[in-house]
Amino acid sequence: MKAILCSHYCGPDDLELAEIADPVAAANEVVIAIKAASLNFFDLLMIQGKYQIKPPFPFSPSAEVAGVIESLGEGVTGLRPGDRVIASCGHNGAREKIAVPAAAVVKIPDTLDFDRAAGIIITYGTALHALEDRAKAKPGETLAVLGAAGGTGLAACELGRALGLKVIACASSDEKLAFAREHGAELALNYAKKDLKDGLKKLTGGKGVDIVFDPVGGAFAEAALRAIAWEGRFLVIGFAAGEIPKMPLNLALLKGCDILGVFWGAWTRIDPAKNRANLEKLVAWAAEGKISSHVDRTFPLAEIAAALKVLAGRQAMGKVILHP
């Protein structure tokens, strides 16, 4: 089968398309014929050796896939060859087939296409875990989403609306903000043009925002924390801007607020039952159209470099998907 391989830490252009042996399902595993593999910003970090998880070489990028079950290992129950499924795999998704634990697989209905299905697990799984399990969001609260048109940002906008929050999209262009407004945001703030702290204060009548969802980091993180309301919750999601911000802790004291770390991947191993319940809910919501799992662009497997450069170039609105 064909696979994209990362054999040493490198940039997108140095990834190779190779021919490797087909996988075989071990006990309690299934082999999935992959129809769509989703890319996330952290795939870029992983191939460069800048991510907290460092798979052994050679590995393929892409941590979540959608496809059809091809074969079952011993002991697998409740799944059959031909079932349409999604699976979280951590890495190795950018290839034609993958063997994964049956426990990592969620069935999808016929009404949900593979491209949209492939991008549900990580972005929406992270945003739902962040908003419900970490921030304990309550209907009527305000939610500022940074990088609001990106993968996790768009998921937070849509889930924020679904949970009854008033969503303020924050992004670097008016085009991205218009897109976020079509996907759940009620208010919008262009942080390339306006001061983030002042803008958020103004949009909340001086009170500040109840919840900040921050996948961007850099200088925006502190500006957003300075605009948080009393007993607000600041969700640390990621650092797409490159710089890991260092926060003055007096802000947490002065605002009586919480700075909450969100590490979805670690949490899925600590509470797999709740993660599965979240994923089954998200699949149902995607099939009903309650969440969009919007696909920005698709690329053939061999064009992974171009696909990753869309993410690196800050161009993606929603998901970037590979077709093996």
Ligand X SMILES: NC(=O)c1ccc[n+]([C@@H]2O[C@H](COP(=O)([O-])OP(=O)(O)OC[C@H]3O[C@@H](n4cnc5c(N)ncnc54)[C@H](OP(=O)(O)O)[C@@H]3O)[C@@H](O)[C@H]2O)c1
Q: Is 149 in the site for ligand X (CB under 6 A)?
A: yes
CA pair distance 250, 274, nearest whole angstrom: 34
8 Å CB contact between 121 and 155? no
Nearest-angstrom CA–CA distance, 316 and 171: 12
Q: For the CB of residue 271, give the shortest distance to ligand X in the complex, in Å.
A: 14
Instruction: For residue 183, give both structure tokens.
Output: 């996907």
Considering only 61, 150, 160, 245, the residue that binds ligand X (CB under 6 A) is 150
CA-nearest of 241, 199, 44, 38 to 124 is 38
Residues 102-141 within binding reach of ligand X (CB under 6 A) = 122-123, 126
Which residues fall within 8 angstroms of residue 4, CB to CB, at 6 or more apart? 15, 16, 17, 18, 60, 61, 94, 95, 301, 304
Q: Which of 38, 172, 278, 292 binds ligand X (CB under 6 A)?
A: 172
* Nearest distance, CB of residue 193 and ligand X, angstroms: 12
| Total site size for ligand X, rule CB under 6 A | 30
**Segment 234 to 263, residues that bind ligand X, using CB under 6 A:** 237-242, 262-263
CB of 267 vs ligand X, minimal distance in Å: 8
Which helix (H) or strand (E) element contains residue 34? strand 29-39
72 vs 167, beta carbon nearer ligand X: 167
Helices (H) then strands (E): counts for the chain = 11, 15
In angstroms, give the least distance from the CB of 71 to ligand X: 30
* Residues in 198-217 at the binding interface with ligand X, rule: CB under 6 A: 215-216
CA-CA distance, 150 to 56, in Å (whole number)?
28
Site for ligand X in 9-68 (CB under 6 A): 40-42
Strand 187-190 and strand 166-171: pairing? parallel
Asked if residue 162 binds ligand X (CB under 6 A), the reply is no
Q: Decide if residue 222 touches ligand X (CB under 6 A).
A: no
CA-CA distance, 86 to 119, in Å (whole number)? 9
- Toward ligand X, which CB reaches closer, 102 or 130? 130
- Per CB under 6 A, does 221 bind ligand X? no
Q: Shortest approach of ligand X to residue 319 CB, angstroms?
A: 8
Between residue 283 and residue 312, which ones bind ligand X under the rule CB under 6 A? 311
Residue from 61, 93, 153, 160 in contact with ligand X (CB under 6 A): 153
Tokens at 234, concatenated: 């600041």
Alpha carbon distance 55, 73 (integer Å): 24
By CB under 6 A, name the one of 234, 264, 285, 299 that touches ligand X.
264
Question: Where does this chain bind ligand X (CB under 6 A)?
Answer: 40-42, 122-123, 126, 147, 149-153, 171-172, 176, 215-216, 237-242, 262-265, 311, 314, 316
